[in-house]
Amino acid sequence: MGSFELLMTAIALVLVVEGILPFLSPRLLRRYLEQVQAMDDRSLRMGGLAAMLSGLGLLYLFGV
């Protein structure tokens, strides 16, 4: 599998995972987004940083 195909596979998987919550429980997603909107910028940045570092750690562990 080439690098372009791998990138497209990764993007496709992100879209599938991101679509699970709105499909299963739109009401829960709305509540979650209201809570996110109420958060300050620093908290959102720290959450984004934690997500990125977790993703990099998983990539490192699984050798991609």
Tens digits of per-residue pLDDT, 12-51? 999 999 999 999 999 999 999 999 999 999 999 999 999 9
Helices 26-38 and 3-24 meet at what angle, rounded to 10? Answer: 100
Q: Over 90: is that where the pLDDT of 64 sits?
A: no
- CA distance linking residue 31 with residue 22, whole number of Å: 11
pLDDT of residue 43: 96
Three-state SS for 49? helix
